[in-house]
Amino acid sequence: YSLDGILVFGLLLVCTCAYFRKVPRLKAWLLSEKRGVWGVFYKAAVIGTRLHAAVAISCIIMAFYVMFIK
């Protein structure tokens, strides 16, 4: 349990949910609820699509950190 592990998990969650939002079957199945526990996936997908440039840069920085610094 570390901060960088939580950041990696959060970035992967946002990137995965943003990808799921582009796939019609997965969007209807996973991202249909906007409230509750399943709403977390919807909110992560919205963050991933609206802030796609910032999320992509964060993923690149985190990959560099995990591969070369850690």
pLDDT over 90 (residue 70): no
Q: What is the DSSP string of 5-60?
A: HHHHHHHHHHHHHHHHHHSHHHHHHHS---SSSTHHHHHHHHHHHHTHHHHHHHHH
Per-residue pLDDT, 38? 85
Given pLDDT bands bounded at 50, 70 and 90, which one contains residue 31? confident
Q: What are 34-69's pLDDT values in tens digits? A: 888 888 998 999 999 999 999 999 999 999 999 998
Per-residue pLDDT, 29? 81
